[in-house]
Structure 1
Amino acid sequence: MKNHTSLTLPAEARNFEAILQRCEGAYSHNTLRGYRSDLEVFAGWCDRNGRDALPASPETIAAFVDAQIEQVTPSTLKRRVAAIKFAHRYGDHPDPTKSSEVLLAVRRAARRKPRRQKQAKGLTVGLLSKMIEHCPDTLAGLRDAAMISLGYDSLCRSCEVAAIKVEHLRPDTKGDWSLLVPRAKADQAGDGRIAWLSPLTADLVSGWLGATGMESGPLFRALHRRTLSDGPLDPTSIRRIIKRAARRSGVDPKMADRLSGHSMRVGAAQDMMVAGFDTLAIMQAGGWKTSHVLLRYVKNASTREVHAKRWVALT
């Protein structure tokens, strides 16, 4: 993990870094990276304004929230307040974010700006098919097609796709393939979940493995002059591959830009909803613990389907 303890950082940021390092192993790398980024913003603001960041008073946090209202979204502000709460908890300080002054500041921020979050464009089955069809017959093309198809089937986030190893694949004697998704955002204990792959995905993954000769280690890797790296693709690289595959298939560039590492997961959930699967089945397939986030993913697709059926019925 990158060392942020340089003396060029404000003293408060160094205090936060010590807490984050203490939490390594107990929280995922992505979680700690997000907290680190938000806490550096808070520490920098406190340093510029002559305030203590750790422990911080409710008045300081409320002033920080008010100062950030015009710069970031309410969801980002809530995340930053959560990071401050995290640092105080594991720094063994009282939690100042419970104060009514902080709660009121967060509510002010929510009322100043709309709460509706931008959602990644869903990589639904029609778009998926076009993207796979236009992947070139090269080593990189084989990897991209297999990765995108597997991400859709398994409803994985880009970070989860990056964590998949060859050992997590489970072909059986009947030719069916399943996949152990070893860890997810909502599965910090690493219990894992099983996802089943379509015959198309199984063929694409088998072709990728045959072309590379891989028998173990990260399933999807970077390529340097047609040579496989030892480590997995970074989630940011996966996002770029998805966007590139969309543009290559003739998708409007603006639509391609809306695709992200979540698009495979969003699109698969939307397709399942439109196909008539109930919420519990989709939650099980994607590893959701609650329906809140899932319903945000699928509500646009389900609303469109309801109206389409209404128009057919009324005409």
Structure 2
Amino acid sequence: MTTATEATEATEVDNAICDAEIVDDDERLLPAAPAGAPVAYRITRHTILAEGELPPRVDEQPPFTARDFTVPGRVKKRIAERGARNTRVNRDSTRTRFEQWCAKEGRIAQPTTTTANVAAYFGYLMETGKLDGSKYSPDSLLAYCSRIVSWYAKGDRPDASLVREMIEDYRLEEFIPAGGEKEQSAGLTLKYLVRVLAKIDENTRSGRRDAAMLVLQYGMLYRSIEVTNLLVKQIRVDTDGVWVWTAKSKTRRKGRGRWRFIRDRADLQTVARVRAWLADLRELREPTEHDQNPADGESAYLPAKPLFRALTTTGNLKRRKNATVRGLFLTGRAVNEMIKARAENAGVALINGLKVTSHSLRAGPNTDMAEALVPLADRNTAGDWSPDSTLADDVYNRPDGTIDTSKDDPLDAVPLWGAFEDQDAPDRQ
């Protein structure tokens, strides 16, 4: 007979929420458990089990020691410096600003955070804008959102979709009505590029270097950092054009590199200009503290050295002892400043109201080819964009492809620009 007390206790047990474990009627299938201790299993939202399968037990975890979590200093440095340098700098600065804002507001940024903290931060950016009074562009905010959310482990990430919806509303309701628009570079098409080249004094080493860089960057639709990353061995001059090897690009960071052929043109004189600069490299020697071009110094014309180098006003190589980031290589910023200065000297700093920058040598040849009815697929290949790209240059990645060994240059379809016959242009025949 059940007493009132026993009935009450049974009811309380039935209504309670109890910790339980998965069991099987056949106790022989159960893992052995310490005597008198419940079996604990490791289960997360990502655990996948077959029907009847038990999850891994907590006490089956390997006995890790401190050594299992320790790496050599050089490996730790590689981990910290993974990815392109500009990407790391932008990523880290974005995360640091978010962390500083959280600390100021009494919120937690690390080791984990909340969706509310991230949403509040982006609301703050939208409302206050930049220090110069201008508004943040929606595209910049989307990039910031990705950098911050990816800071956390996948299972602990804030709800990025909510923040992205906030940003898109901001684009439509605040940014566009306030006159905000994406800043674009002008297209340095042949009509303007030949004017820039004609104003360069190619009797100087810096002039020959810049002219060679401009025609290569136009022919390859290169970004500034891509042309500065070229090595001497990655250029091969043929009788009717130049072969250029691209190890990787911003949109194709993995997989095999590729050779591409740039056919010589009378308006750009690519072969002559590249040959002239290579001849300069053969004459140049690495400077020392007491001699800018020592006769017995190491040659600049070595396969693994940069194709384009920083020069002094007298045309010798600059010493790069303090260039700890890029070493002997030029920076993308230096190329951008060179192009802007050359364009201004030629009177084309602005084209159709847009500024000429290094990116103009990506937009320019694409515009020329589009006007010559070169198919989109060929232009995407020439510019190292993905096949389905709409030429949003820094968004889409190009799938790994095979090395092109044919002399197929899509710029062949662009008619020669008549200004090359100008008598004032340098004679390169």
1:106 aligns with 2:167: yes
For residues 210 and 182 of structure 1, do their structure 2 counterparts lie closer, same or farther at Cα, with a shift above 3 Å needed? same
Q: Which runs of 5+ in 1 are unaligned?
A: 1-18, 298-315
1:165 aligns with 2:249: no
**2:272 aligned residue:** 203
**1:140 aligned residue:** 206
Give runs of aligned pairs for residues 1-315 of structure 1, distance below 5 A: 22-25=79-82, 27-54=83-110, 55-70=112-127, 71=129, 72-89=136-153, 94-98=156-160, 100=162, 102-111=163-172, 112-114=174-176, 116-136=181-201, 137-172=203-238, 174-189=239-254, 191-199=256-264, 200-213=269-282, 214-216=301-303, 217-225=305-313, 226-229=315-318, 231-252=328-349, 258-294=355-391
Of structures 1 and 2, the larger Rg is shown by 2
Number of residue equivalences = 274
* AA in 2 matched with 1:218: P
Q: 1:46, CA displacement in angstroms?
A: 1.7
For residues 201 and 105 of structure 1, do their structure 2 counterparts lie closer, same or farther at Cα, with a shift above 3 Å needed? same
* Farther off after superposition, 102-111 or 266-275: 102-111
For residues 295 and 46 of structure 1, do their structure 2 counterparts lie closer, same or farther at Cα, with a shift above 3 Å needed? closer
* AA in 2 matched with 1:75: D
After superposition, the C-alpha distances for 1:224-278 in whole angstroms (9 at most, x for unaligned) are 2422146111100000000010011122568797122211011111111111101
* Farther off after superposition, 65-74 or 150-159: 65-74
After superposition, the C-alpha distances for 1:51-109 in whole angstroms (9 at most, x for unaligned) are 222322111111111111142111110010011122224xx662214353x23322332
Q: 1:21, CA displacement in angstroms?
A: 6.6
CA distance in structure 2 between the aligned counterparts of 1:296 and 1:162, rounded to whole angstroms: 18
For residues 195 and 84 of structure 1, do their structure 2 counterparts lie closer, same or farther at Cα, with a shift above 3 Å needed? same
CA distance in structure 2 between the aligned counterparts of 1:233 and 1:182, rounded to whole angstroms: 17
TM-score (norm 2): 0.59
CA distance in structure 2 between the aligned counterparts of 1:239 and 1:296, rounded to whole angstroms: 17
TM-score (norm 1): 0.79
Give the secondary structure class of the aligned counterpart of 1:156.
coil
CA distance in structure 2 between the aligned counterparts of 1:253 and 1:265, rounded to whole angstroms: 16
For residues 21 and 68 of structure 1, do their structure 2 counterparts lie closer, same or farther at Cα, with a shift above 3 Å needed? farther
After superposition, the C-alpha distances for 1:26-70 in whole angstroms (9 at most, x for unaligned) are x22222122123222222222222222232211111111111114
For residues 183 and 296 of structure 1, do their structure 2 counterparts lie closer, same or farther at Cα, with a shift above 3 Å needed? closer
Identity of aligned residues (%): 27
CA distance in structure 2 between the aligned counterparts of 1:293 and 1:41, rounded to whole angstroms: 33
Give the secondary structure class of the aligned counterpart of 1:170.
strand
CA distance in structure 2 between the aligned counterparts of 1:244 and 1:93, rounded to whole angstroms: 49
Q: 1:22, CA displacement in angstroms?
A: 2.8
CA distance in structure 2 between the aligned counterparts of 1:282 and 1:134, rounded to whole angstroms: 29
* AA in 2 matched with 1:69: M
Q: Name the structure with the higher helix share.
A: 1
CA distance in structure 2 between the aligned counterparts of 1:278 and 1:138, rounded to whole angstroms: 39
Q: Is the 8 A contact 2:235 2:243 kept in 1?
A: yes
**1:310 aligned residue:** none
Q: Is the 8 A contact 1:81 1:97 kept in 2?
A: no
CA distance in structure 2 between the aligned counterparts of 1:31 and 1:278, rounded to whole angstroms: 32
